A and B are shown apart, each in its own frame.
Chain A
Amino acid sequence: MTKMKYINLLIFIYLIIALFIRVFIGINLTYGLGFLAVLGVAVLFLQKKRIKFSKNPMKMEGYPYKLRVYVICVLLFIPMLFKYLGLEIYPSIVMPGGIALISSTDEIVSFKSSQLYGISKERRDTIPIDVAYFLDPAPTHYFGAFQRSGFGMKNGSKGEIDAAKARWRLKLRRIGCIDSLFLFRKYQTIFPSELREILDEKSYLLY
């Protein structure tokens, strides 16, 4: 039996024991170990399939082995680690995970959401603004990025900030809102009742 087979066997036994502990005692020891088993099996598989070379592959003509494995690691794994640390590299080969969990037993779920409001000229009341219209021609999913940049009114020269303000004023006038300000609200919304709690509120003055 090779070393890898022992490791796989140990992981398998551990998973079985952890599963029993999870079910009968309620302590979760299996957290994140499933992937280890898969990696173990994959390594075992590769070990089994190793090709025997007749000569040193590093000396073979036209082969990319001179790059060595650590260059590949730098190009592939480092950006992935950076992404998990919250620092995304562009260009890099990393896809979004979307890993968050929710309780599947609760009757209600709650999520954070954001909304823009203008003040209606006629009723003097706040009305929600269609984000797709407001950001157009920028894509709607840039909303978060726009909010972080203060809708272009946080950093930059006076001319740039004025240009951003003029842009939003025009947009507000077109939907029948007063053009002196708009509001941004962040909610925690409980579904399916749709009860909302305001987490954050900001007003952006345009004059």
Chain B
Amino acid sequence: MKKATYSIDLGWASFFELIKKNAHVAEDGVGLSVVRIFIATYMLCFGTVSWTWIAQFPDSFHRPHVFNVVGQIIGGFPSHEVLLSLQWMYIFSLLAVIIGLKARIFSFLAFILLIFLNGIAYSFGKIDHSILLTLLFFALSKTNAGCKLAVYPDKPLSIEKQDIYTGLFAIIICFGIFSAGFPKALMWIDFDMSTSGILRWYYEGYYSLNRRELLAPYFIYVPTILIEPMEYLVPLFEMSGFYFLVRSKRHWRLWLWLLGLFHLSNLLILNISFKQYLIVYGFFLFASTLHLFKKNTYLLALFLFFISFTVIFRGYELITNFEGTVDGLFETSPLADILHWVFYLTCGAPYIIWSFIPFTKRAKTDAKNTYSNNAKQM
């Protein structure tokens, strides 16, 4: 028994070492700090920032799932005052993360508040799936993102420790997407041309939910013979995260970039956006791209100017709607959502090109950098 558990531990250790290496986020330069500022600004502008509406509903609406831990603990909806103060604590945490005021502590606070406030909202009996966004703040709190470009910088953690948490976060992303792909693989990979899962998504959205924007009206002309391979590719792609993660650093980023492409095609055909997830994938991909431009101070100055402008504008909007429900920065529409994913793909593209196109220096060195060499170094 002892031998068997040791063998499992050894396998797990081996697996995790590879993941730690591949999910490593470069921390020299200001890339990680720029990513921190971007993530918090994005959440402030496009994420949920109001929960006070919950207090409008009496406790007879409080029907949490049996295993909604937060909902079961609180037993009923909190008062308007409690929700308002928690909501403003969350907004203040985001602002503190943006300006770098003990970003590690406030990232962790934002994580706890998101878990709690979302748990209350899900007590109506519907659980949304934004857990990766919540865990992103946990991952952020365990990195050195708050050490540079900060008003009150954090004390740096060892790279070893940072890699453990970025590795864990990479596993969580892979597992999250895997959990969506696994049941699809069970049902969709049936080599049966007369049934279709993609068409079920499409027709239900098109007819029942009125999702008829962008390319949706034209998808009907795609022949079934082309849809069938897609039905196999989608679950396999969703399940393949772990493969890319252990393959290499650049393959892991490639998978995240392809996920962006996958979401964009979903948006174009099925009008399903999931746009907020771009910051989850961007945590790894943007940091790598920024690492390429680490010495470009003009770009950095431009970024900081743009962010300051956006935060001031958004802050004014939130303060003027102090107790009301505040929507995203811009009116949401499929066309606007395309811009989000195009932005993500454009930001990730330089790293993907740089690390994969054969004539670049990076691709050549990566190809030589075989696994056996790495193992020897350890």
B208, A32: Cβ atoms under 8 Å?
no
CA distance A138 to B273 in the complex (A): 20
Given A88-B67, A94-B176, do A160 and B129 touch, yes or no (CB 8 Å)? no
Q: Which 7 A-B pairs have the closest CB atoms?
A: A156-B60, A34-B189, A145-B125, A57-B13, A35-B185, A137-B53, A95-B180
A46 at the interface (CB under 8 A from B): yes
- A-side residues, CB < 8 A to B, are 18-19, 22-23, 28, 30-35, 38, 41-42, 45-46, 49-54, 56-58, 62-65, 68-69, 72, 76, 80, 82-84, 87-105, 109, 111, 113, 137-138, 141-142, 144-146, 148-149, 152-157, 159-161, 163-164, 167, 189, 191-192, 194
B8, A69: Cβ atoms under 8 Å?
yes
For this complex, 12 residue pairs linking A to B, each with C-beta atoms less than 8 Å apart, are: A32-B189, A46-B15, A49-B371, A65-B16, A89-B65, A89-B67, A97-B182, A101-B197, A104-B193, A109-B207, A138-B57, A144-B125
Q: In angstroms, how far is the closest chain A Cβ from the Cβ of B76?
A: 9
Residues on A with beta carbons closer than 8 Å to the beta carbon of B185: 32, 34-35, 38
CA distance A84 to B232 in the complex (A): 21
A149, B134: Cβ atoms under 8 Å?
no
Residues on A with beta carbons closer than 8 Å to the beta carbon of B13: 51, 53, 57-58, 63, 65
CA distance A175 to B202 in the complex (A): 32
CA distance A95 to B8 in the complex (A): 27
Interface size bracket, B side: 35 or more
Given A90-B70, A104-B196, A111-B204, do A149 and B131 touch, yes or no (CB 8 Å)? no
Residue of chain B at shortest CB distance from A159: B58
Tell me which residues from 22 to 67 in chain B have a Cβ below 8 Å from any Cβ of chain A.
53, 56-61, 63, 65-67
Residue of chain B at shortest CB distance from A30: B191
A76, B184: Cβ atoms under 8 Å?
no
Residues on A with beta carbons closer than 8 Å to the beta carbon of B203: 102, 109, 111, 191
B224 at the interface (CB under 8 A from A): yes
Residues on B with beta carbons closer than 8 Å to the beta carbon of A148: 63, 125
Q: In angstroms, how far is the closest chain A Cβ from the Cβ of B136?
A: 12
Given A57-B13, A91-B119, A91-B131, do A104 and B191 touch, yes or no (CB 8 Å)? no
CA distance A30 to B124 in the complex (A): 40
A28, B190: Cβ atoms under 8 Å?
yes
Contact with A52, one of B53, B57, B375 (Cβ below 8 angstroms): B375
Residues on B with beta carbons closer than 8 Å to the beta carbon of A84: 183
CA distance A141 to B189 in the complex (A): 29
Residue of chain A at shortest CB distance from B240: A38
Contact with A31, one of B69, B171, B177, B190 (Cβ below 8 angstroms): B190
Q: In angstroms, how far is the closest chain B Cβ from the Cβ of A90?
A: 4
Residues on B with beta carbons closer than 8 Å to the beta carbon of A42: 242-243
B197, A99: Cβ atoms under 8 Å?
yes
Tell me which residues from 113 to 130 in chain B have a Cβ below 8 Å from any Cβ of chain A.
115, 118-119, 122, 124-129
A35, B67: Cβ atoms under 8 Å?
no
Residues on A with beta carbons closer than 8 Å to the beta carbon of B10: 53, 57
Contact with B180, one of A96, A103, A149 (Cβ below 8 angstroms): A96
B6 at the interface (CB under 8 A from A): yes
A76, B175: Cβ atoms under 8 Å?
yes
CA distance A88 to B194 in the complex (A): 32
Residues on A with beta carbons closer than 8 Å to the beta carbon of B127: 88, 90
A19, B194: Cβ atoms under 8 Å?
no
A101, B196: Cβ atoms under 8 Å?
yes
Q: In angstroms, how far is the closest chain B Cβ from the Cβ of A70?
A: 8
Q: In angstroms, how far is the closest chain B Cβ from the Cβ of A194?
A: 8
A94, B9: Cβ atoms under 8 Å?
no
Residues on B with beta carbons closer than 8 Å to the beta carbon of A57: 9-10, 13
A91, B69: Cβ atoms under 8 Å?
yes
B195, A101: Cβ atoms under 8 Å?
yes
